[in-house]
Amino acid sequence: MAKTPVRTRRSGSQLSPEAIIEASLRIAARGSEDAFTVRRLGEELGADPTAIYRHFRDKDELLLSVADRAYGEILEGIPGGLAWKDRLRALAAGSLRVALKYPAVASITASRTTRRANEFRIVELILGAVTEAGLDGADAALYYRVVADALLAFVGQAAAYVLFAPEIRAGDESSWRREYRMVDPERFPTITRLGTELAEVSNDAIYDVRVEALIAAIEARVASLSGDGGRA
């Protein structure tokens, strides 16, 4: 009787850092939260889990490398030749798209710095945008951080949210049409008056307003510097 073929587990020498990163992203794209566990990666790669550590010092190094690879996907979606406002808008849109594609990655790394090539490219993009707008020196550095941190905060929150169980999300999302519509109108008159409008606000609208507010803040700072004799 012929024996059933047995899948041979690959050794660390047969893997590559890129193969491991891609495996983590595949797991994350399926909505799994265990994209960085060596056990799950070993299963995905058909390899001994300990072989992962031949290419990455520890789980944190893998995490940051995977995050930087995701940043590369953001950059790939930004067309060349855009003016500074549209570069920031494209960065914002791409950041949210990739965060929702890999929520387990974005939710963990939103408060981290990868210190790798694609992160440096995003920093350069934002700094280039704010200097093109008319800021420089300390102002450019500050507004770069304002933009970067605001985008990371939103996409990290959005990514973390989609990892909750569907019933939890459903309860949160229905609250605007249920609990918030049932508050005591004497204690919460403004909530009562604007209850319908509150229920109709979308996350896309919130994000768009946030991005436009960042752009407006940059323009306002440039105008104030010009009025004070600073750089126009």
The domain tally of the chain equals: 1
> Which residue range is the domain that position 36 belongs to?
1-56
Q: Is residue 159 part of a domain?
A: no
Inter-residue long-range contacts of 73-81, CB under 8 Å, 24+ positions, other chains counted: 73/98, 73/101, 74/98, 74/118, 74/122, 75/118, 75/121, 75/122, 75/125, 78/125
Judge whether 45 lies within some domain.
yes
Which tens digits make up the pLDDT trace of 85-111?
Answer: 999 999 999 999 999 999 999 999 999
> What are 140-194's pLDDT values in tens digits?
999 999 999 999 999 999 999 999 999 999 999 999 999 999 999 999 999 999 9
20, part of any domain? yes
pTM for this model (two decimals): 0.90
Residue 19 maps to a domain? yes
Tell whether 39 is covered by a domain: yes
Q: N- to C-terminal Cα distance for the chain?
A: 83
- In a domain, residue 15? The reply is yes
Q: Does residue 50 lie within any of the structural domains? A: yes
Does residue 149 lie within any of the structural domains?
no
